[in-house]
Chain A
Amino acid sequence: MKEKKEKQPQTSSQNLKEQALKEKSIMASLPDNLELIRQQLGNSSDIVIRQVGLPGEIAWAVVYTDGLADKQLVSEFILESAMLHDRVKEESKHDPASISPQLLASNVLAIGETKEISNFGQLFTSLLSGESVVLVDGHAAAITAGTRGWRDRGISETLTETVVRGPKEAFTETLRTNTAMIRRKIKDPNLWLETRQIGRVTGTEVSVMFIKGIAEDKVVEEVRIRLERIDIDGILESGYIEELIQDETYTPFPTIYNSERPDVVAAELLEGKIAILVDGTPMVLIVPALFVSFLHSAEDYYHRFDISTLIRILRYIGVFIALFGPSLYVAITTYHQEMIPTQLLYSLAAQREGIPFPAFIEAIMMEVAFEILREAGLRMPRSIGPAVSIVGTLVIGQAAVEAGIISAAMVIVVSTTAIASFVFPSYSLANTMRMLRFPLMGLAATFGLYGIIIGTFAIVLHVSSLRSFGVPYMGPFAPLIISDQKDAIFRMPHWAQVTRPKLMNRNNKRRQQKPASAKPKP
């Protein structure tokens, strides 16, 4: 478990002031309150303060942030309802003091979501997250009204986890849209959502979502504890959270899964995992993560089981090639030529005749060139894409071979490896393979296959020691769990998947009842 130092007591005067302001309660005088708001927000031009009421009548004000709050909601259902409300008109003439914020909330404002608040900390949080704040003169309380409505990107098709068959929608940057997309898939009262704000300055909303009764309570508690420990100024993407709560930082392997597909998150929730949604990013974190889940695609469950299983096996072959491809080539051509069939050896030797570098240098050059191309492809402006790819293919593919710098076989090996690293449904695992490839190549160049074997032992030992939120990372292979093999390398038909994965669930194991009758009869 991670040990963290106790929170440092906030000693600086700046912090003390902020703390005092947060706890300062709302004053009775409306002008004082509005003055304080203006002063604290530095008269920011996007804060709209609308005061209502003639002299002598009841005075009240609506404060909202332009752009975050829906203007139509504010004007129609707060301003209009209150200004045109008969009773408010009547009472404000006779007994202005009887119009309290509570009365406004319960009888007047035609808004679904209202809340009474009493201090400025809550006031600013609500105001800056798009709610409207209603303050009434003479009352030391305020009402917040749920008027959030800002421009967002809208739900669009997923770009990073594409499928042929299955839902195409992806999460967006708005937390509420994302939770709604999951709720639409799981209509169960046991789907619980806990939201907290993390980030002292950004105050980013982070929601923990799980199915009560399926998710292990201990793991949920562990997630809460780890999120509670975070004390940072800003959370801008779920990657921040991932690095702050993962079990082991010094590992190339991702121990937290992420996805931008609501159907993947729903499926993982049903297996007893816990989703962590962060406002402002479409990437949802899922814990605990197993190594195998990085090789599972959502589509595996939508296609027939036989082809899904074969494709999964293909992915494992992809892992092998992506990890060992160039290092095996280097080891075999440098030290173990006897393994190559004679004809092939002749042609390889002929190709390599004019090449001035040892295979290792050749491989490193090609790999680095490929990594540069790949990174450039990601970062460059879209419009110059074709130019770079033409230069890349011509220079590296053909010219380098013709110029006698690189052998053609090496081009084949490196490009096969590169393509193999794209068969993983998860980008984070592809990065792992990318990183581990280089040390393995070094070992292969110095010790041949012996080096690769030693490197593999080290990798195997390392992954065996990893845990994700207490769950062994290499499960269900190590420790071996026979019943979980139904959804690891193989994907058994759905009628055969009667139980949930054992690693994750100890109390609620059953997925379907009566396994025998669930199998369709001919």
Chain B
Amino acid sequence: MRTKEKISARQFTILVILYTIGTPILIIPAALASIAKQDGWIASALGLLIGLALTKLYVSVGRLPGQRPLFATIEHVLGKWLGKVVIAALVFFCLVTASEVLFYVGNFMTTQIMQSTPVQAFNIMFALVVVMAIYMGIETLARSAELLFPVFVLLIVILALFVTPQIHIERLQPVMETSMKSLVWATMYYTSVFSMTSFLLLSVFPSDIDQPQAAVKGFYQGITIAGIALLLIIVLCITVLGPDMTARQTYPSYALAKKINVGHFLQRIEIVMAIMWFITIFYRLCFYFYGAVLGLQQLFNLKEYRPVVLPLGMLFVALSLVVHPNVMHSSEYEENAWVPFIATFCFFLPLVLLGVHAIRKKK
């Protein structure tokens, strides 16, 4: 019999990095540039600091006595009935958000690269590998992350190096031109996509990690490295494309990669650069999906989560096709519904968990 799967602290750090960079690497520069213009990078830097503070919150939820995985903690702290209701809601959140990310993959492929292929094909293909990954378990997922991480690092370094000739640093000026209000809003939005989502990492932290102490350090390290990588991408987008161009693009990083031109020979390699965000999106998707799967397992007290993986995977493909009828709907959703939606689950829920735990302990 296989013993319980454990991952190492280093593997966890790599997963944190890839997961946190996730979708934001592709879309966040546009959102920040449209809200805060050339000051978008300030929002990103502030977001990193807030992200570290949030990480502290999540770590303390993860290290509640017993060190249970996320869904067991919820049920333990909130009691059986309320716990189940919250878990059901969280499963819904995970599934919808996962479908939304998958929608982005399909949308990116059909609008930018292969216009005449039906979007269903892309979504099914991507969902298949996600289902495969979750089916094989967290240990395999962590090992594959170790194999793909060097590829990611190589690509981001190539991207950063090859666009440097086209940097116009004056595009960052004037600094702090935008109003305080839009800067705060930009920071909030950035936080919602960048660091709040790492709450879902509690499904493996710290219960599935063999050195929980080192994993705490790894959590902070991972968030910091991911934050710096995103900051780099945002600064590059603004300085190379300019804030207006960045804001107008749906996928500014892709537009950034199109700018690569080395001696009129190495050019238009944006599809190779796209591998970079396929890797990060893959891990983000895996964790959303894993969250939904584990939530269902806890909800119905299943011994083994694998039987629900395939049905849930089908559901998730179907959902990705209907979650946003078009891009306008998605940007509307991102602007108005997303921040309160995620804040409910990934900001207020941990606070409630900590609060209820403190009150119950006093009694």
Contacts and interface: CB of A to CB of B under 8 A. Distances in A.
A293 B187 CA distance: 49
Contacts of B166: none
Interface stretch (B33-41, B139-147, B223-231): B139-147
A478 B144 contact: yes
B228 to A, nearest CB: 21
Given A450-B122, A457-B282, A480 B133 contact: no
Nearest to A457: B129
Nearest to B129: A457
Interface residues of A, number: 27
A460 interface: yes
A interface SS class: helix
A449 B144 contact: no
Nearest to B122: A450
Contacts of B128: 454, 458
A450 B125 contact: yes
Interface residues of B, number: 38
A472 B109 CA distance: 35
Contacts of A1: 1-2
Nearest to B105: A450
A454 B123 CA distance: 11
A339 B113 contact: no
B147 A474 contact: yes
A451 interface: yes
B171 interface: no
A478 B140 CA distance: 9
Contacts of B329: none
Contacts of A474: 143, 147
A465 interface: yes
B306 interface: no
Nearest to A448: B114
A229 B86 CA distance: 50
B147 A339 contact: no
A453 B114 CA distance: 15
Contact of A479 (B122, B136, B143, B274): B143
Contacts of A339: 268-269, 271-272
B interface SS class: helix
Nearest to B269: A339
A193 to B, nearest CB: 32
Interface string A444-472: 00111111011001101101110000001
A169 to B, nearest CB: 37
Contact of A335 (B8, B114, B125, B148): B114
B268 A464 contact: no
Contacts of B143: 464-465, 472, 474, 478-479
Contacts of A90: none
Contact of A465 (B140, B146, B274): B140
A255 to B, nearest CB: 15
Q: Chain B CB within 10 Å — which of A335, A461, A478 has the most?
A: A461
A480 B148 CA distance: 12
A464 B113 CA distance: 30
Contacts of B1: 1
B121 interface: yes
B265 interface: yes
A338 B258 CA distance: 10
A478 B136 contact: no
Q: Chain B CB within 10 Å — which of A472, A477, A478 has the most?
A: A478
B10 interface: yes
Nearest to B8: A479
A1 to B, nearest CB: 8
Which 10 A/B pairs are nearest by Cβ-Cβ distance?
Answer: A464-B143, A478-B143, A478-B146, A465-B140, A338-B268, A464-B144, A457-B129, A464-B140, A465-B136, A460-B144
10 contacts: A1-B1, A447-B122, A458-B128, A461-B132, A464-B147, A465-B137, A474-B143, A474-B147, A477-B146, A480-B146
Interface of B: 1-2, 8, 10-11, 109, 113-114, 117, 121-122, 125-126, 128-129, 132-133, 136-137, 140-144, 146-148, 264-265, 267-269, 271-272, 274-275, 278, 282
